[in-house]
Amino acid sequence: MQFYLDGYRPGDPLVAPAHPSVADRPAGLPEEVDVLVVGTGPAGMVLAAQLAQFPDIRTAVVDRRDGPLEVGQADGVACRTVEMFEAFGLADQLVAEAYWVNEVSFWRPDATDRRRITRTGRVQDVEDGLSEFPHVIVNQARMQTYLREHMARSASRLEPHFGLQAADVQLAADDGPVTVTLHHVRGGQETGETSTVRARYVVGCDGARSAVRRSIGQELVGDPMNQSWGVMDVLAVTDFPDIRLKCAIHSANQGNVLIIPREGGYLVRLYIELDAVSDRDMLENRSVTPEKLAAVANRIMAPYTLDVKDVGWWSVYEIGQRLCRKFDDVPAGETGTRTPRVFIAGDACHTHSAKAGQGMNVSMADAWNLGWKLAAVLRGTARPELLDTYSAERQAVAQELIDFDREFARMFSAAPQDAEPGAGGSAEEGVDPEEFQRYFVRQGRFTAGVATRYEPSVATGDTRHQHLAPGFPVGMRFHSAPVIRLADAKPDQLGHAARADGAWRLYVFADRHGSRFADLCVFLGSEESPVARHTPAAAEPDSVVDVRAVFQQGHRDLAVDALPPVLLPRKGAFGLVDYEKAFCPDPASDLFDLRGIDRGQGCMVLVRPDQHVAQVLPLDAREELADFLAGVLLDAR
């Protein structure tokens, strides 16, 4: 992370100087904003943290709660989400605090005594090389705290406003501001007081009962919620040997349990299936208690016992798979005729089970997709048509999630097949536990969050030149790899060059002889290049398109002072040189080999601000690069 660009100052360098507009900002909820974010769940906080990077954008965040979330709710953090948190500078803190999901064990009824469970398999949770980060477990409240603290350190000093519930959202007929009526709430009860905010854009991250969703005429459509599960975070003493591993446990006819060890070394989360027959009275009378959930867990885990000493949080929920057809206020038949002004994200537009740990992750990815697009349009660097891609891209991802979750939840909740004749069942009934284990392994890339692939649009190109870098698939997330930074010989990850700053990254991989690379760098540093065309005169030279280079030579074989000017940009009030634009392969793991980059020709890899590959191009495809960027960005001249 870079700092001291505009002068040395003592203290924490991660706390940005407050923007001058902060001093002039009135106390309390503003009456007019550029973006109103409704909800401080995972989606709302990622969106707010992204917009906090731009103090020139007036952002307000509201939530009906009395204050920040403190305990409970989601906890699984996919590899892809940790990659996203790296862009905020938060990955180190997250990974250090978290429980790492390294392996998963599978348990099923013992073939000789089906009243007992036995371990039948143990697999690696994330395949090697899938990400530089692990799959981890951290309380959702902590995830939101990281983001809230990041907002407070930003130049905008953005903070949520609590105790405010969106009650009515009105869109002006003339593309004017959206008017939102907010009811004041204290202790879960409305006080009778109201406030009104006018916003250019409104984003509903207000959960499955979203008032913002209702205001744009969307509804959650899908399967009824017909499976009940209890969940609780416990401190317990047990003789179950895999209590510190993620475990999927199928009993013969007592139900199923998912064990998720939590951060800190002692806490464990239990997802406990409540049986429609055995637990009928408990469900119908709504008499579930932590003690009753613990009894069900002991019933499923026999012959092992679980003595619960303390309960940190617990809940009961029903699962179903439901999805909105559109994630913005423009009807499907009118897309392209007007710009969306109201958006929905997270549980407001898709709901599903918690078993695969996708809810918080996909919700955050929704906001990650939308945040940079709103910022680019509001700051005048991108065309408003860019906003149409949010619903198109994320609705397709949510549909894929719903399809996956429906099958995953079915297999997890189904009774295990009887493999032994006369054991009380048949091979045709239920799910083969070994097949469930194979399904889990096959879907590993999806649950890690790295399988998302956006279709061609104004923000994502075609695959004509994919052969130049098959390891960077167009539309998918930019898969980082080890490199050595040229200027200071620091071992690094190339993907960590990306920050949550709204900039596009152009990674230039040099050809074998370097002639095409040299010619391209001259062009990129000229006034005719798209870098100059789309960068406002007063902005930093890398604030819209950030050019980075990767050479084939070792870092001791190149001279920093021989780099072209585009790789040594002058920045800030003093015109200081940024030396962190050039990289070389790590001798132990060569990037060109890892990602299949054509060594003879080299290539350009253009990456969107949300870290998804937008285009792969030859080094001499200057017009293609310029045309693509001109299709999404505005001419700053």
How far is it between the farthest Cα atoms of the chain? 82
Asked if residue 244 lies in contact with residue 286, where contact means CB atoms within 8 angstroms, the answer is: no
Residue extents of the structural domains in the chain:
31-91+136-222+322-395, 100-133+225-319, 466-632
* pLDDT for res 438: 82
CATH code, residues 466-632: 3.40.30.20
What is the distance between the alpha carbons of residues 232 and 218, in angstroms, rounded to a whole number? 32
Which residues contact residue 485 at a Cβ distance below 8 angstroms, ignoring those fewer than 6 apart? 491, 492, 555, 580, 582, 583
Instruction: Name the CA radius of gyration of the chain, rounded.
Output: 26
Provide the mean pLDDT of the chain: 92
265-305: pLDDT as tens digits: 999 999 998 877 677 777 777 889 999 999 999 999 999 99
* pLDDT for res 426: 42
pLDDT at 424 over 60: no
pLDDT at 6 over 80: yes
* pLDDT for res 356: 65
C-alpha distances in Å from residue 221, one per residue of 216, 320, 352: 15, 10, 12
C-alpha torsion sign, points 130, 134, 138, 144:
negative
* Residue 402 CB neighbours (<10 A): 19
**DSSP secondary structure, 43-85, as one string:** HHHHHHHHHTT-TTS-EEEEESSSS---S-S--EE-HHHHHHH
221-273: pLDDT as tens digits: 987 666 788 999 999 999 999 999 999 999 887 889 999 999 999 999 999 98
Is 402 or 626 the better-scoring residue by pLDDT? Answer: 626
SS3 287: coil
Place of tokens 């477990």: 137
The H or E element that residue 37 is part of is strand 32-38
Phi-psi region of 415 (alpha: psi -120 to 50; beta: other; left: phi over 0): beta
C-alpha distances in Å from residue 16, one per residue of 55, 157, 437, 577: 11, 9, 47, 20
Strand spans (E) along 187-323: 189-204, 221-222, 227-238, 246-250, 256-261, 268-273, 306-319, 322-323
Q: Which of 502, 492, 464, 477 is nearest to 580 (CA)?
A: 492
Asked if residue 164 lies in contact with residue 63, where contact means CB atoms within 8 angstroms, the answer is: yes
What is the distance between the alpha carbons of residues 312 and 269, in angstroms, rounded to a whole number? 10
Kindly report the backbone phi and psi dihedral angles of residue 69, in degrees, each rounded to the nearest multiple of 5, phi listed first. -60, 135
- Percent above pLDDT 90 for the chain: 80
- The amino acid present at 79, given as its one-letter code, is C
The H or E element that residue 169 is part of is strand 164-171
The H or E element that residue 167 is part of is strand 164-171
The H or E element that residue 108 is part of is strand 103-109
Is 188 or 369 the better-scoring residue by pLDDT? Answer: 369
Paired strand residues for 168: 181
Is 100-133+225-319 a domain of CATH 3.30.565.10?
Answer: no
Strand spans (E) along 472-571: 482-485, 491-493, 504-509, 545-550, 570-571
* pLDDT for res 177: 95
* pLDDT for res 455: 97
| Helix runs in 134-210, H state only | 140-153
Choose the weakest-confidence range: 129-133, 306-310, 312-316.
Answer: 312-316
* pLDDT for res 27: 84
98-113: pLDDT as tens digits: 999 999 999 999 989 9
Is 31-91+136-222+322-395 a domain of CATH 3.50.50.60?
Answer: yes
Confidence of residue 26 (pLDDT cuts 50, 70, 90): confident
DSSP letter for 424, please. S
* pLDDT for res 402: 86
pLDDT at 427 over 60: no
What is the distance between the alpha carbons of residues 119 and 123, in angstroms, rounded to a whole number? 12
| Helix runs in 340-447, H state only | 359-378, 388-413, 433-442, 444-447
Strand spans (E) along 428-525: 482-485, 491-493, 504-509
| CB < 8 Å & 24+ apart, contacts of 401-405 | 401/350, 401/352, 401/358, 401/362, 402/222, 402/321, 402/322, 402/323, 402/350, 402/352, 404/356, 404/358, 404/443, 404/446, 405/321, 405/352, 405/353, 405/355, 405/356, 405/358
144-177: pLDDT as tens digits: 999 999 999 999 999 999 999 999 999 988 888 9
435-475: pLDDT as tens digits: 888 887 778 888 889 999 999 999 999 999 999 999 999 99
Place of tokens 């898709």: 350
Confidence of residue 357 (pLDDT cuts 50, 70, 90): low
pTM listed for this prediction: 0.94
* pLDDT for res 419: 44
